């Protein structure tokens, strides 16, 4: 059974929002590179890759369900932040918005009685808990570090160890 028009439209919007998220985190990676914080940049590059993988999950699902994938113009992301803490706070707020968007999709799937889409979205519900937790953990570390450059460099080294898993 093909997915309904309202669902396809909403899934396409989310696919494009995931592409924007990837673009945003790549912009953050560039910001961190400009500060010489290569560990922070690495973390954001991996985050960008994850967001692109999320977009592809939506792409594949829409196509498999007989819908038409539509790609829209991607908004230009910010290019700089006042501090590493500010960048991660911005990322945390962005992830909270994405969580709400996923929740809205779940509600739409329920309203449309689209159990397959509801089931697919459960992966994203779980993923968003992890996304917010990851950002929040780094925000808290950066708040504790305040202006201590030694701690900032320790966090940078830790974030440099993150690798892209590419899977679920």
Give the pLDDT score at 166: 59
CATH topology of domain 5-69+80-159: Ferritin (1.20.1260)
Place of tokens 């202006």: 147
Q: Is 138 helix (H, G, I), strand (E, B) or coil?
A: helix
Query: pLDDT category, 75, cuts 50, 70, 90?
Result: very high
- The 10s digit of each residue's pLDDT in 107-143 is 999 999 999 999 999 999 999 999 999 999 999 999 9
- This prediction has a pTM of 0.92
Q: What are the contacts of 115-124 at 24+ separation with CB within 8 A?
A: 116/3, 116/65, 117/3, 117/7, 117/11, 117/61, 117/65, 120/57, 120/61, 123/57, 123/168, 124/54, 124/57
Query: pLDDT category, 51, cuts 50, 70, 90?
Result: very high
Which stretch of 60-64, 117-121, 162-166 has the lowest confidence by average pLDDT? 162-166
Domain ranges of the chain: 5-69+80-159
């Amino acid at each position: 059974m093909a997915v309904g028009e309202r669902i396809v439209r909403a899934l396409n919007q989310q696919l494009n929002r995931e592409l924007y998220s990837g673009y945003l985190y790549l912009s953050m990676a560039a910001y961190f590179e400009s500060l010489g914080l290569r560990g922070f940049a690495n973390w954001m590059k991996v985050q960008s890759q994850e967001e692109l993988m999320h977009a592809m999950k939506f792409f594949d699902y829409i196509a498999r369900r007989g819908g038409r994938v539509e790609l829209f113009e991607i908004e230009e992301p910010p290019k700089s932040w006042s501090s590493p803490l500010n960048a991660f706070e911005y990322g945390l707020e962005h992830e909270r918005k994405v969580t709400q968007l996923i929740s809205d999709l779940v509600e739409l799937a329920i309203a449309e009685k689209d159990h397959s889409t509801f089931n697919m979205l459960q992966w994203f519900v779980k993923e968003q808990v992890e996304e917010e937790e990851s950002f929040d953990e780094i925000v808290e570390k950066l708040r504790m570090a305040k202006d201590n450059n030694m701690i900032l460099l320790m966090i940078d080294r830790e974030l440099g160890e993150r690798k892209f898993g590419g899977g679920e």
